[in-house]
Amino acid sequence: MSEKPGGAAGAKPIALRGVDVPPFYAGKLGQRAAEMKRQGREIIPMHFGQPTAGTPPAARAAAERTLKLDPTGYVESRELIERIARHYRDAYGVEVAPERILLTAGASAALVAVFAGLFEPGDRIGIGTPGYPPYRNAVRALGRVAVEIDCGPSVGYHLTAAQVAVVAPALHGLVVASPANPTGAMLGRAELAALGDACRARGIRLISDEIYHGISYGERAVSMLEVDDEAVVVNSFSKLYRMPGWRLGWLVAPPALAARLSPYVVNFFLTPPTIAQYAALAAFGDTAELERSVATYRVNRTLLLEGLAAMGIDRIAPPEGAFYLYADVGHLTNDSLAFCERLLVDTGIATAPGIDFDPEGGRRCIRFSFAVSTEQVRRALELLGPWLAAQRRL
């Protein structure tokens, strides 16, 4: 008697367990875009939230020097931790003891450690919608409950203390992002302080995602640590420092929480990449290079806002930070994924469908990343205009 594939004859099938997590549709589109590029197609990569300018020269040089030393061991750079502490003092006027800082393999690893280490299965964690999809998906995958709070146009894409105060039953945790993905919305000092007050009043653990700090187009971003020293803060070298593939981030927590989270970070992820830590230390000093990137984003932001408005895509809240435009294209489609797929195949412009960020309202929205070159933004607008005109005639 022949055996069934994968087991003995008559064996009981093994049930699929665990939590279903939806795909990151921008990643699926990215795979399609990569295949098209391999076939010789021109691709304008406005789908992923990653700068295309590459790693800053100082960071690359530091990595090359480190490679010659054959760095094969696990490392947690005390020098980098102390430099991050100095960053909080210089940028925000906040004193953060090095013992409160944990290095992580990107901000994603920090968030997973926080969701796992500070909450129990069934705990309710609030997230703003539209928002970064891995918040929702990681919370659910870990057996916690994602409570989505509407942060749409009616509130200017701003999560408010008034909303947090009335969520019932009360939340156990809240994730706030400023600047936010996908909208670029920023919360001011008073708004952040009010959120902190609302969370303390209801016993809610506050997690502040600050990975887009340093990229803003008016006032600088305020760190939650400036108004609430008990908050848990997550940051990364992926955005401002243009090091997404190096997988390096950090978190800041009150001493007792840092001590609790450290075993989670180590057991889940050990240490971040060794070479990345040396590169990041050098990136901190490459201020002029980082400022040039933000200047490019500022130009790109203006070009996109004006160019899209001229094409009839004008339901966009101008982003205050980060490098995204979240555009309502409901007059053109109610299926943002299909819209982005057609746009990619027809023009080579890769964008992110709104359903990544809001499974319902996102059906009529798409996100453009303008962390590309200004030439690519101009080219995208050049291709998009005729394509949109053709769509309207269909």
**Torsion over CA: 174, 95, 280, 49 (sign):** positive
What's the mean pLDDT when you consider all of the chain? 95
Residues of the domain holding 332: 25-54+288-388
**Looking at 237, 265, 283, which one is the last position of a domain?**
283
Domains held by the chain: number:
2
**pLDDT interval class at 393 (50, 70, 90):** low
Decide if 62 is inside a domain: no
Per-residue pLDDT for 315 more than 70?
yes
Torsion angle (degrees, nearest 10) of CA 45, 305, 107, 112: -100
Angstrom distances, CA of residue 294 to CA of 245, 301, 323, 350, 373: 19, 10, 9, 22, 11
Mean pLDDT of 203-230: 97
**Looking at 283, 307, 327, which one is the last position of a domain?**
283
CATH of the domain at 293: 3.90.1150.10
* Residue 259 shares a structural domain with residue 179: yes
Lateral strand order in the sheet of 173-177: 101-104, 249-252, 232-236, 205-209, 173-177, 124-129, 145-150
pLDDT in tens, 186-210: 999 999 999 999 999 999 999 999 9
**pTM of this prediction?**
0.94
Give the whole-number percent of the chain exceeding pLDDT 70: 97
pLDDT in tens, 82-139: 999 999 999 999 999 999 999 999 999 999 999 999 999 999 999 999 999 999 999 9
Per-residue pLDDT for 292 more than 70?
yes
**Looking at 283, 316, 344, which one is the last position of a domain?**
283
- Residue 1 has a pLDDT of 43
Phi, psi of 208 (to 5 degrees): -110, 120
* Residue 73 shares a structural domain with residue 188: yes
Decide if 5 is inside a domain: no
Read off the tokens for 294. Answer: 């933000």
Place of tokens 């971003």: 221
106-117 helix and 133-141 helix, angle to the nearest 10 degrees: 40
- Provide the 10 A C-beta neighbour count for residue 4: 10
Phi, psi of 146 (to 5 degrees): -85, 120
* Residue 126 shares a structural domain with residue 242: yes
**pLDDT interval class at 285 (50, 70, 90):** confident
Q: What is the DSSP letter of 329?
A: -
Closest C-alpha to 101, from 282, 240, 225, 243: 225
Per-residue pLDDT for 3 more than 60?
no
3-class secondary structure, 145: strand
pLDDT in tens, 31-64: 999 999 999 999 999 999 999 999 999 999 999 9
Q: Tell which wins on pLDDT, 19 or 2.
A: 19
Q: How far apart are CA 378 and CA 233, in angstroms?
A: 36
Decide if 366 is inside a domain: yes
* Residue 275 shares a structural domain with residue 340: no
